[in-house]
């Protein structure tokens, strides 16, 4: 940022100031070394105050990173960023899944086969026990819910 200070008196002066802002916040860091593909647990991370001026995608919530998997090896003390983590795969192509449809207090479930691989919240194709292909949202490990 650039600021100009001017003295309005006769024979006044003018100074230009160039400043650089520094923003810090409590963000999630790796408490210990995390290997590639590791699922992040509660004891793997902690909150610490760090400069985040050049890190706009840092996490500020411990719960947001738990159960996510690392894309690469992360050293202890590193600020965790969105591009370092990926939601773990909960449904794999060709594996059996449980299709659960809920409405009010009624729950119906049936078996099916995943035709796509997906993480939590992803929409995948599933072939149900009747042989009909449906679109479903991944809810947990090996479980989906119909989208339509």
- pLDDT per residue as tens digits for the range 33-49: 999 888 899 899 999 99
Instruction: Count the Cβ atoms, other than its own, within 10 Å of residue 112.
Output: 22
Classify domain 89-146 at the CATH topology level. Answer: SH3 type barrels. (2.30.30)
- What pLDDT score was predicted for residue 148? 76
Look up the pTM and report it.
0.60
* Predicted pLDDT at 96: 95
**Is the pLDDT reported for residue 31 higher than 80?**
yes
**CA dihedral defined by 103, 104, 109, 114, rounded to 10 degrees?**
40
The 10 Å Cβ neighbour count of residue 67 is 14
Please give the backbone phi and psi of residue 43, each rounded to the nearest 5 degrees, phi first.
Answer: -85, 0
Look at 61 and 1; give whichever has higher pLDDT: 61
- Segment holding 109, helix H or strand E: strand 106-114
Confidence band for 11, pLDDT divided at 50, 70 and 90: confident
**CB distance 79 to 58 below 8 Å:** yes
Strands 96-103 and 143-146: parallel
Express each pLDDT in 78-137 by its tens digit: 999 999 998 888 899 999 999 999 988 999 999 999 999 998 889 999 999 899 999 999
Confidence of residue 72 (pLDDT cuts 50, 70, 90): very high
Backbone angles phi, psi at 96, to 5 degrees: -70, 145
| Residue 110: both structure tokens together | 């049936």
CATH number for 25-86: choose from 3.30.930.10, 3.90.1210.10, 3.40.50.720, 2.60.40.1220.
Answer: 3.90.1210.10
Domain ranges of the chain: 25-86, 89-146
pLDDT of 26 higher than 80 = yes
> Residue 54: what pLDDT?
84
Residue 19: band (very low, low, confident or very high) from pLDDT cuts 50, 70, 90: confident
């Amino acid at each position: 940022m650039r600021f100009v200070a001017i003295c309005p008196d006769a024979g006044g002066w003018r100074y230009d100031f160039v400043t650089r802002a520094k923003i810090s916040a409590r963000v999630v860091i790796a408490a210990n070394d995390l290997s590639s593909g590791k699922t992040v647990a509660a004891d793997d991370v902690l909150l610490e105050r760090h400069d985040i001026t050049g890190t706009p995608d840092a996490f500020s919530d411990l719960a947001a990173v738990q159960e996510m998997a690392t894309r690469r090896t992360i050293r202890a003390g590193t600020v965790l960023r969105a591009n370092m983590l990926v939601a773990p795969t909960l449904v794999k192509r060709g594996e059996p899944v449980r299709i659960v449809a809920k409405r009010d207090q009624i729950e119906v479930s049936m078996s099916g086969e995943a035709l796509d691989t997906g993480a939590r919240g992803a929409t995948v194709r599933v072939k149900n026990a009747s042989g009909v292909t449906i679109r479903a949202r991944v809810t947990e490990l090996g479980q989906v819910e119909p989208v339509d």
